[in-house]
Structure 1
Amino acid sequence: MDTKITLTPVLSTQIDTFKKDLQDAFLKGLIDAFSEAENPIDMGPIPSDKDFDESIHSPESASYYFKLGDTVVGGVVLQTNKQAQKNEVDFFYIKADVHSKGLGTKAWFALEENFPQTKSWELHTPYFEKRNIHFYVNKCGFKIVEIYMMEDLDDPTEAGYEFLRFEKIINTKDC
């Protein structure tokens, strides 16, 4: 069995399926964190269609499926800045049905391997996503560099969530 994660670009004909898989994975995280709360499905898709569309269609966007052999196990949407050699992860997900198998860690390091010119990575995750925090800090080597409150002036119902900003500086001495 192939245990290497590969990256495959998301084609324009695959964007709807990619978005659904990503939103399903993010919803699972929300349900796990707030299982005693009211139905989180009533909140709408997470990320919102608007946020996803803005991210995936921005000029510096790059989107990839993570594959184990021929099987899609997750995906990522990046904002790449080749000139500054700084990349930001907008969305990173592993399908819920393959969690806890080490695939997220393999996917992260496959991503780094595919972007060897990157000097720093940045990403954000909600404070309530303890599993994500553990993953990024303890498995992938990120540092938490900021805690902030989400302020969404366009949609006040999205305001008030605490987020963490993570950064990973790549040791360029070894390159």
Structure 2
Amino acid sequence: MPEKHIVALEPLAPPDFSLFVKALQEAFSVTPREKFGNPDLVPSENDIRASFQTDGAQAFHILLNGERAGGAVVVIDEKTQRNSPDLFFISPGYHGKNAGLAAWKTFEARYPDTVIWETVTPLFQGAQHAFLREQMRFSYRGMFQPPPCRPERPHGESASPLDTFFRFEKIMK
């Protein structure tokens, strides 16, 4: 029987940024560690900081039954209501306990005017794809690779499957 959770969203205070980054990177490292033996295939601190600085970004700790169990940066476009869970994570100790779905439902309730939720996730995150489709009811909308010239990749080096992302949407209205 699924565990029942009381979910709350706690706005992220600037002094908590480093703690948030560490928790997110730990959560995102599980699949790369298991699949590739490389837990370093996670968003960098600079990528996370950029997410925080996106117009409309709102950052939260996810509290489950009063304990910090994850976090999210959601980007809310007040004009179009095409919104995005830019970064969304549940700490590994809460995986497999329906915590992610309970947290996601809290975000949907917090932003009832959302017309479409849209997100991207790396190709290698197969469990995340299943969670998005089967639990959160997102639909697959395509695959893409970022532009080939990125600072971390030498000029001319082609993109690898690790640079391939899936795009998902959930139509709310």
Q: TM-score, normalised by structure 1?
A: 0.87
Deviation at 1:128, TM superposition (A): 1.0
SS class of match (2:32): helix
1:5: which partner in 2?
7
More divergent stretch after superposition (150-159 vs 57-66): 150-159
Deviation at 1:29, TM superposition (A): 2.2
1:89: which partner in 2?
85
Whole-Å separation in 1 of the counterparts to 2:28 and 2:123: 14
Deviation at 1:152, TM superposition (A): 5.1
2:99: which partner in 1?
103
Is the 1:146–1:165 Cα contact (8 Å) retained in structure 2?
A: yes
Whole-Å separation in 2 of the counterparts to 1:169 and 1:73: 27
1:78: which partner in 2?
74
Which of 97, 111, 134 matches 1:138? 134
RMSD: 1.9
Whole-Å separation in 1 of the counterparts to 2:35 and 2:126: 8
Aligned residues: 165
SS class of match (2:153): helix
2:65: which partner in 1?
69
Q: Deviation per CA, 1:52-111, whole angstroms, max 9, x where unpaired?
A: 111112232111111012201111111110111111121110001111001011111111
User: Does the C-alpha gap of structure 1 residues 137 and 21 become closer, same or farther in structure 2, counting only changes over 3 Å?
Assistant: same
Whole-Å separation in 2 of the counterparts to 1:151 and 1:32: 27
Deviation at 1:121, TM superposition (A): 0.4
SS class of match (1:157): coil
User: Does the C-alpha gap of structure 1 residues 82 and 25 become closer, same or farther in structure 2, counting only changes over 3 Å?
Assistant: same
Which of 116, 124, 143 matches 2:112? 116
**Structure 2 residue 18 is the aligned partner of structure 1 residue 22:** no
1:52: which partner in 2?
48
Is the 1:33–1:129 Cα contact (8 Å) retained in structure 2?
A: no
What one-letter code is carried by the residue in structure 2 that aligns with 1:18? Answer: F
Deviation at 1:33, TM superposition (A): 2.4
Is the 1:2–1:69 Cα contact (8 Å) retained in structure 2?
A: no
